[in-house]
Each structure stands twice: as structure tokens, then as C-alpha cells.
Amino acid sequence: MIKKIINTCAFILILFFMMPSYLTVFAKEIPLELDKAYDACAFTVTTEKYGYYDVTVISPKKDEYKGTIDGSDSTEVLVKDVTAGSWKVRVEESHNESSMASEGSSKDIESQNDTDIGKVKVSVRGIDVSSYTIDKDIKVAKDINGLKMYFKDDNIEIEWSDQSVGNVVVTVTDTQTNVEISKESVKGNSFECEIPKQTKQITIAVVPATSSNIENAASQFTLDVMGVPNASVVYENKEFVNTTTIPVSVELRDKYALEFVVNDKVVEDVPMKDAGTYEYEIPVNEGENRIRTYIIDEKGNMRSTAYQVVKDSESPVLKLEREYDGAKTYNEKVTFEGTVTGQDLFTINDSEVKVSGDGVWKYEYELHDGDNSVVFKATDLAGNETVYPATVIRLIKVKKDVPFIPIIIGVILIVGVVFIIWKRKNPGNRPYNNMIDSIREKPTEKNTVVPAKNKKNGTDKKLNDIQRFGIELIIVVVAAVSIFKFVLIPFTCPSESMQPTIEAGSWGFFNGIAYAFKSPKRGDIISFYSKELDKLLCKRVIGLPGDTVSFYDGYVYINDGLVYEEYIGEDVETNSAISDFVVPKGCYFVLGDNRENSYDSRFWDDPYVKKSAIKGKWMTTLLHFDKDKR
């Protein structure tokens, strides 16, 4: 009975070892008991995690048979002349530097201790020598060094570092449907094929081409098709840029590595990052840029987010019909013309300008008094700008009034004098004689004298010639004094401050009643009394009440508008130690035309002339005396 039980147990053990055994442990060494000898056995080792491991199969005689797991999760070690007894399979971290380098650097791979290896599955399969004979000259899958496989978007990528293995046959099959997806004999060191979207799991068989006809020589791997990573990539929403880099924002909700590729060239590798949001600047080249950001999980599977952008660093070409900067005009409007190419938008002071198909444009612009800042700007889709700033000056016209009142008074005076002279030569005008004769001394009541009648004609005695001449002379003198005292005020220019308009020593007239009913205007030459110098001066009115008179770069500005002064030389500069003057109410700011040799409002303690101090308006120069010759 006992013998029967022992035989039964032995039979069960034989069946157990003839079937694949699964030993899941959290250790590096797995013991195996084989109850009989085999011509050959295949020891298949599968790890829970992808990685790089050294696998050693140890016989009862302590002979060792080596295998490696290079970036995958399984390998197969083939052993000839397998004897019965206690066998061991040892799995440990790989220290093969070449395999580590193929992944980038050793620091990119997590250190693997006992718990890092995770669960290990070992299966032993006996091989029938009649159908498959292992020979030392026959390469099998375990001989392919550096074998690794991973998903890249919708493709499966298989790579190996072995340069001596020759062609490799790779077969990819849908595990669920057993439909072959791809089979190819690869001449190089990599293989890829697209995985149909509906496929959930694939089986990969890899074998050297020289052993492809040998049964069970291929290594098989089963992989779940990569899903969508728990991460997102956000690019800047632009089709064109003019920068050397573009920003990329990556949000990781799990632990991932990153890879940035521009035009199929890797520009940056980022090792494993913890969950979080990260910002990167990706370099771009002139022209079209095809960009992919890959999210890489711990198994090396890669999923990308694509983006395409054009770098354009060439600015639009803008040409103006003529030079507008510094242009001066009295017109209210100016027409700008020119051509522009390579632009998406063309503006003048932020107003869009219509451009014809050949790049020609024309734009009418309304000016205000003084300086007009105009900015021509052409912008393309990439943000490149061509900017042309210009300042167009609308000149302020200084109105010159015709002195009608002094002219009329002068004409009347001249006519009066001529009339008197004419009447003296033609005394027969009775109304005139009667008017002169009527100018007599009135008699008093006590001494009333009745004029005697002329005995000859019976009329009153008339004024004699001397009396008449005296009256006429008094009238002329009074009229002349009144005119030259209050209307036509004679004046001699005492200095060179008004040159070249009025030379020093010039003699002329001021209109004394010019401002009786109106105020001085800008540009008027006035005579006024200066308390500071205690004498009459002659200057030109520049600033009116309320004006701000400024001096900048040798020019005079009124309320920020440039004053065009045709009465001074083009090369004459007007400068002042004080840059701005605000003219008070009822006052005026005056300058001499000889700006570089004039003591005027710029230098006085009180720079403003009150209207009450103004004596008249300059009319004309009659005579000029050279001061050096007098």
C-alpha cells in the first residue's frame, strides 16, 4: 500500500515537472526539482516589471547557464543534457553597462533591490531532440543582445544592440484573434509596425533569421497595447512665430519622462518627473517646424502630441514715396504714399491702410497745428514689424494786418495840407472864407462893439491875411501835434535787437491807436515802456495771454506747436535758460528778431509786458542812420 502511494506521488511529481511550473516569489533565487534527465530544456523566466536583469540557471553540479533580460520582462535559457535533481534559477540586477547605456544613462533606471524585481515566473519545458536539436552553431533569441521593445504612438518599436546576429525575423500577432499583424526579416537593428486601433494585446516572436526554421527557437513576448498617458501637453496657439523658441506646457498626473523632437531630431530628453506642471522652451528653426512632445512611461512606451509652426524672422519691406520726417507745410491735410510687401497688416497711427495687390498704398492724413507724430507700421503673421516714425510740422501762420487807420489818418493829413495850400492860392471860396472869418474873439456885454460897416459895400469888416494865416497855422500845429503825439508816434530804434527787420538807428512811426479797440496779435512789433530799463523798447509779440511759450533745440514752440518765423535767418537758434513760459492774462511775451543778441522776455526779472505799457504798433521805417557814422 505504501509503495503504491509513493509511486502515485512520484507520478504526480513527474506530471508536475513535465508541465510548466509557475513560482511567484519576491526573491531572486527560485529552486526547481527535475525528476528525470532531458536531452534539452527551455527555462523561461518572466519578471513582473520591465528592466535589465541577469538570469542564471544552475545545475545540480553547479554548472551555470546564462541569460539576460534587456529592457523587457522575459527571456529563455536553453540547456542541453539536463540531468535530474535540484536546479536553481537566479535573477538579479544587471550590471551590463552596454545595456544600461542603450537606455540613456544609469541614473535613468531605477535601482532594483529584492522588492523592485517583483514577482518572478519560471517555466521549464522539455524539448524533443528528434524535432529540434540545439547546436552550438545555431543562434536562438536569447543570443540577441540589448533586445528591448516599447510602444511609440500607434506603433510597436523593437530594437537590439547586437551587431553580429545578422537578420532577425520579427512576427507580431494579435493575441486575442491570433491574426498576424506583421512579419518581417529585419536587416538592421530595429523593427516597427503599426498596431490596429482595435487591438488590445499583441504577441511578439523574435528569432535570428538563421534559426527561424527551427521549432521553438523564437522568444515570445506578450504586451498590452499602450493606452493614453495620464498627462497633457499644451502648445502656444500660433501658426507663425519669429522667436528662437516656443513655449510648451506639460501637465503630468503620474510619473513620466519626456522627449522633445523637432523635424525628427531629438532636441531634449527629460528624465522621469513626478506629477506636476512643467514649462519648457523648445528651439525652432527658420521655416517649417514639425514638433512632437513624447510622454514616456516606466516601461519605455511613448505617446506624442504633435504641433506644427513656421518660424519667419524676415520683416515686411516698407518704402515711402518721399522723406516725411521733418516735412513742413501750411496745409491742413497731407497725403502719404508708398509701397509695402510681406505684411499682413499695415497701419498709420493704428488706422488700417488699404494696400493694393502690388503693394501700393495712399493715405490722406489731417494735421493739427505744430508737430504731428506719424507712425507707419507694417506687421506680418509672425509678429515681425517694420516701423517708420515721422514728425510732420504744420506751420502757424503769423497774420500781418494792414495798418488801415494810420494810413487813413496820414491820407487825411496830407489832403488837409494840400487843401490849405490850394485855398491860399485860390481865396475866392466864400464858404471857406466865412468859416475862417467866423473865428473871432467874442465881445463882452459891457464892452460890446458893433463892427463898423464898410462904407463902400456895407458889409462887416473881415479878417485880414495875417489873422487868417495865424488861425491856419494854429490848426495845422494842433493837428500835427495831436497826430504825432497820439497817432503817428515817431521812434528811433536804439539797438540791434530787431535786426534784420529794423536796423539799429532806423527812424519810423508807431501807430498809437492800433490797440485802442483790439489787442496785439502774434507777430506784431510793438513799442512799450520798460520799468526795468526805464525807457521805450521795440520788440515782437510771440506769446499771447494764456499761451505756453517753449524753447527746444533752438526753436520756439507755442502750445507745443512749432512757430515758423520767416523774419529770422534759417541758421538762427532761439535758446533760453528757462524752457517754458506761461503768459498771464493781460500780458504778452516778446522777443527781438536778433535772437542771439537781444535782451528780451527770456532774460527779464518780469518776463511779461502788460497791455497798459504798450504805446503802439510799428508801422514802417522811413529813414535809416548808420550809428557808427553819426
List residues with catalytic annotation. 497, 539
C-alpha angle 201-204-210 in degrees, rounded to nearest 5: 170
CA pair distance 554, 535, nearest whole angstrom = 29
CA pair distance 398, 545, nearest whole angstrom = 16
Full strand arrangement of the beta sheet holding 180-186: 180-186, 168-174, 201-208, 219-224
Half-sphere exposure of 233 (CA within 13 A, CB side): 24
Cell numbers at residue 133, please? Answer: 536539436
Cβ contacts of 166 within 8 Å, gap of 6 or more: 139, 208, 209, 210
Cross-strand partners of 486: none
Cβ contacts of 18 within 8 Å, gap of 6 or more: 126
Cβ contacts of 543 within 8 Å, gap of 6 or more: 522, 549, 558, 581, 583, 588, 589, 601
Q: Rounding to the nearest 10 degrees, give the CA dihedral for residues 577, 583, 584, 587.
A: 110
The residue type of 206 is V
CA pair distance 605, 88, nearest whole angstrom = 113
The residue type of 140 is V
Collapsing DSSP to helix, strand or coil, 572 comes out as: coil
Angle between helices 465-482 and 430-437 (to 10 degrees): 80
CA pair distance 74, 84, nearest whole angstrom = 25
The residue type of 223 is L
CA pair distance 463, 433, nearest whole angstrom = 9
8 Å CB contact between 108 and 273: no
Helix (H) or strand (E) holding 411: helix 404-425
Single out the residue of 229, 90, 74 nearest to residue 149, CA to CA: 74
Half-sphere exposure of 296 (CA within 13 A, CB side): 17
Single out the residue of 364, 482, 467 nearest to residue 413, CA to CA: 482
Q: Is the dihedral of CA 529, 533, 535, 540 positive or negative?
A: negative
Helix (H) or strand (E) holding 434: helix 430-437
- Between the alpha carbon of residue 375 and those of residues 9, 378, 547, the distances in Å are 100, 10, 28
Give the chain's radius of gyration (CA, Å): 57
Backbone angles phi, psi at 380, to 5 degrees: -105, 180
Question: What DSSP assignment string belongs to 364-400?
Answer: EEE--SEEEEEEEEEE-TT--EEEEEEEEEEPPP---
